[in-house]
Structure 1
Amino acid sequence: MTPILSVVVPIYNVEPYIGECLESLAAQTLEDIEVILVDDGSLDASARVAREFAARDPRFVLFDQPNQGPGPARNAGIRRARGTYLAFADSDDVVPPKAYELLVESLRESGSDFACGGVLRLTEGELAVSSMHEKAFRRPARGAHIRERRSLIRDRTVWNKVYRQDFWRKHELEFPAGIYEDVPLSMRAHVLATGVDVLPDIVYHWRKREEGESSITQRRMELPNLAERLAAIRAVRAFLSEQEPELADAFDGVVLEKDLLFLFQALEYAEDDEIGPLLELSQEWLAGLSPVALGEVASLRRLELHLLGRGLVEELRVVRRFRRDSVDGTPIVPHEIGWYGDYPYFRDRTLQIPDAVFEASDEVKLLATVHECGWTGSRFEVRGEVALHRVAREPNRIGMWLTDGERRVPLEVRRTGGQGVSVEIDPAMLEEGGPSWRLHARVELCGLVVKTCFRDAEAQKVWRLSVPGWSRTSMDIAQ
């Protein structure tokens, strides 16, 4: 009888973890599955553990092959897959019990080509957010496409998904050889799909190994590993340039945010004889990135890239240590005609780093928070804080006002110490206005101005101004 879902699991030297992985697959609430285990020439007892598990559960079957890498191992499993749907799991990871039920049910209802879901990082038995996946799975969607939902450019793994088998075969999808086989295939599938379901549910626990042989991703600072990563990135860029060129800049942005980090880390800890080859590789990486993506990086990353481009490794190491030590966020200061990152070498002219490298005006944010709202006699009082994120100095001036889309009503601001502010609103000021009002703030520091609207990042709370004979006016004020 044909199973609903085929799960392909490549295996290579994962003896400490494979048991937990297989148990998680056996415990899936979607029971009509087949699990195709492909031992890729393991040198430890992984194959024995898998064989014993398959002997107990007829849904599991084990195949052996000489070591060829995870991509060819997955391809070998796919050729044996009989299910209507297709999924992948790495043999050191864990799949939550309802993962495949949720993904398959979504595809049954939507008709999309594949469904994907959220990921947590599993480290020493503790689960934490996967920074690589978090932004892509904040909001659910049915029938989405990476062209419109650009955050999916971050979804570069195959094991947090269920694919339709006919979609896979129609486009002749196949994993390339090499250790970063996920990235080219994932991006290719996203572009070729007519519709993708995005689930905010956690469907995969991605392990960081604590013992045994390190995983490929944990050897990511090694020169051959970095070269393979660059090859995968180039493969994606070539595909996007041909099929979906408008996504290339967004993909490069993720490369600058995530992938380049491993090159920085390698240079931080490299021995003297390793620095030359790493710098040569870095020039290849930088040469392939789009000017648009390079122009949009944050100021601290811009400084790191500047130092990398000039081969200033010791200075780069100083900046990397500074980044790690800045637990409250890297500081920004007003300087002459703009805002600049107060980073190492900002005031040191010996290196002749242009001021533009440190320019951070787009990163300055005014944080406005309401702590209390309420009536004090006939007036409505709002008490809260106004602060510049990453700017240590207090504003010289703070202004606040209300708007209803047409009118602007200034308010008298009382400073209550530090970043505290308080305003009193006379309802008579709002007559003939409305039906709703928004509270705004403006700060000035050294002649530089930043503005914002009071908002609640999680939910908007509306406070009604209950005035006799006049009850239709409201204010969008966060608390």
Structure 2
Amino acid sequence: MVSIIVPVYKSEKTLRRCVESLCRQAYADIEILLIVDGPPDGSGILADQLAKEDARIRVINQPNRGVSRARNRGLTEAAGEYIRFVDSDDYVLYHGLDEMVRRIEQDGSDLVIAGFDHLYFGQKIEKLPHTNACIELASSYEDLKQLYMGGFLNMPWNKLYKKELIREQFPVDLNLGEDLLFNEAYIRQAARISVLQQPVCEYIQDDRGTTLSTKKRNDKVETALLLYEKTKAFFQSCYPDVGQFAFLADKVCTTFLDEVEGLGFAKDMTYAEKRAAVAEYAKQTRAFLQREGIRKPELTLLDYRIVFFFLRRQQIGMTMLMIRLRAMVVEIVRRRKGV
């Protein structure tokens, strides 16, 4: 049996669609654990109603404690041999779980990592891993590196876990990156990983109009540096013979650049505040690269490379100009696409 853990919070508009997709999927030997995390809307009432419609659904109520604690509660309540996590605003594909169970049993593996469809502002982007193989973790450094760089280790909802191998729960003291750390802790217990080159769910993202406060931006950068150290230790423990893991530093630089470029959309900040934030990011970026002995990170996107050129040289005025131009282009594209 597969235990499917679904944290429920402020999901009154999406929960039914999510749960009905779970109930309709091809693989039927499941239990659905709806962890109702003290929502202020009608999500809890809807969860109770859904449980009356399918005997495989179980509702577990708790005071609002956050998504990590909700998932951890699900782990303690789960009765299945396998564990799958699903977000309450996502949609699972009909054959996804069926194929994941088939692969983990056929390959004799400890984990399945699958692809997904990313619905961003109504646009579907198919995200697939680089291979469709079963990899031996001890001899598959390049494969694990590719999965990390592709972003396939960052989330729990594209994976199938064995409950018996879960030694550590989700960290509860982080607002970002807790899923990555959970996956790294789990992979340390694994010997073989089945990589499934097909989408198993739709991940829905629509963050229009959202901006981060200065504190949250600073927290995100600090978390990126913490995750860098943790992930470097993870790869070192898995592959002690590999000398350096420069690609991890590339991820940190990407986080800095995401935050810098995001300032172009921050309507809650004055020009002076944005300029001060860019100056601080420039200082932090330079200090990080010097500390890690990195001359030039590998940045794939052209806009990253352009902004980084000026940011690293602490040319704040030119950096500001570049992020303003980028924000204008993005807004024009969004308007033309009607999103």
Question: Does the aligned pair in 1 maintain the 2:33–2:58 contact within 8 Å?
Answer: yes
Which residue number in structure 1 is paired with residue 320 of structure 2? 317
Q: Tell me if 1:73 matches 2:76.
A: no
Q: Tell me if 1:152 matches 2:147.
A: yes
Residue 244 of structure 1: SS of its match in structure 2? helix
Larger radius of gyration: 1
> CA deviation digits over 1:235-287, x for unaligned, max 9?
33222333423574222223434x33430233223423643356435644654
Map residues 33-72 of structure 1 onto 2, 5 A cutoff. 33-72=30-69
Q: Residue 159 of structure 2: which of 154, 158, 161 is its match?
A: 161
Q: What is the alpha-carbon distance in structure 2 between the residues aligned to residue 85 and residue 223 of structure 1? A: 40
Q: Residue 223 of structure 1: which of 214, 217, 220 is its match?
A: 214
Q: What is the alpha-carbon distance in structure 2 between the residues aligned to residue 243 and residue 125 of structure 1? A: 36
Which residue number in structure 1 is paired with residue 333 of structure 2? none
Question: Does the aligned pair in 2 maintain the 1:187–1:236 contact within 8 Å?
Answer: no
Question: Does the aligned pair in 2 maintain the 1:115–1:162 contact within 8 Å?
Answer: yes
Question: Does the aligned pair in 2 maintain the 1:117–1:200 contact within 8 Å?
Answer: yes
Residue 155 of structure 2: SS of its match in structure 1? coil
Residue 16 of structure 1: SS of its match in structure 2? coil
Aligned length: 310
Gaps of 5+ in 2: 237-241, 331-339
Amino acid at match of 2:160: V
Which residue number in structure 2 is paired with residue 103 of structure 1? 100
Amino acid at match of 2:162: R
Amino acid at match of 2:220: R
Amino acid at match of 1:296: E
Question: Does the aligned pair in 1 maintain the 2:285–2:312 contact within 8 Å?
Answer: no
Q: What is the alpha-carbon distance in structure 1 between the residues aligned to residue 126 and residue 286 of structure 2? A: 29
Q: Tell me if 1:264 matches 2:267.
A: no
CA 1:70–1:288 in 2, change beyond 3 Å: closer, same or farther? farther
Amino acid at match of 1:242: A
Q: Tell me if 1:234 matches 2:232.
A: no
Question: Does the aligned pair in 2 maintain the 1:222–1:266 contact within 8 Å?
Answer: no
Question: Does the aligned pair in 2 maintain the 1:188–1:239 contact within 8 Å?
Answer: no
> CA deviation digits over 1:22-55, x for unaligned, max 9?
1111112111111111122211111111111012
Gaps of 5+ in 1: 328-479
Q: What is the alpha-carbon distance in structure 1 between the residues aligned to residue 98 and residue 17 of structure 2? A: 19
Q: Residue 135 of structure 2: which of 132, 143, 151 is its match?
A: 143
Q: Tell me if 1:11 matches 2:46.
A: no
TM superposition score normalised by structure 2 = 0.80
Query: Which is bigger in relative contact order (C-alpha 8 A, separation at least 6)?
Result: 2
**Counting helix residues as a fraction of each chain, which structure ranks higher?**
2
Map residues 126-137 of structure 1 onto 2, 5 A cutoff. 126-130=123-127, 134=128, 137=129
Amino acid at match of 1:233: A
Q: Residue 179 of structure 1: which of 175, 178, 186 is its match?
A: 175
Per-residue deviation at 1:61?
Answer: 1.1
Amino acid at match of 2:91: V
Question: Does the aligned pair in 1 maintain the 2:249–2:297 contact within 8 Å?
Answer: no
Map residues 437-456 of structure 1 onto 2, 5 A cutoff. none
CA 1:281–1:29 in 2, change beyond 3 Å: closer, same or farther? same
Q: What is the alpha-carbon distance in structure 2 between the residues aligned to residue 192 and residue 219 of structure 1? A: 38
Per-residue deviation at 1:192?
Answer: 4.4
Amino acid at match of 2:319: L
* Aligned CA-pair RMSD: 2.9
Q: What is the alpha-carbon distance in structure 2 between the residues aligned to residue 279 and residue 23 of structure 1? A: 49
Per-residue deviation at 1:314?
Answer: 4.1
Amino acid at match of 2:264: E
Q: Tell me if 1:296 matches 2:287.
A: no
